[in-house]
Amino acid sequence: MSVKTKKEQIVFSGDLTIHHAGELQKELKKHIAAHDHISIAFETIDSIDLSFLQLMCSVHRESLKKEKSITITTSVPEQLRQIMATIGFERTISCDHGEHDDCLWKAITEAEKQ
């Protein structure tokens, strides 16, 4: 697993699985605390699992509560698209975040249809 940070950007690569969830969460929370907006980018992904999607949802919800934002700024790796489809994370409507109509997975699903 590799997490590179450049100002307001986090770049993920390598093994994005439960084995590294604690480290990933720590980096994401640290970055959210330091910035009002962060962008997520991906490089070569070796493996990814449900824990990464759940972690991103959790951190995204927390950021919305703090009036901060997260966006994905690079193309989505095939492994991420495949796991989203397999476990049902493809979205056509947003999750219920209260007053926010914002969902990382909805944005990816819509981008893939274009």
Q: Which residues contact 78 (CB under 8 A, 6 or more apart)?
A: none
- Do residues 12 and 3 make contact, with C-beta atoms less than 8 angstroms apart? yes
What's the Cα-to-Cα distance from 104 to each of 15, 45, 60, 108, rounded to whole Å? 20, 18, 8, 6
**Running along the chain, 114 residues long, what does each successive block of 10 average in pLDDT?**
73 93 91 89 91 89 86 82 80 57 63 53
Range of the domain at 48: 2-113
Residue 10, domain CATH: 3.30.750.24
Residue length of the chain: 114
Number of domains in the chain: 1
Claim: this prediction has a pTM higher than 0.85: no
Return the pLDDT at 80.
84
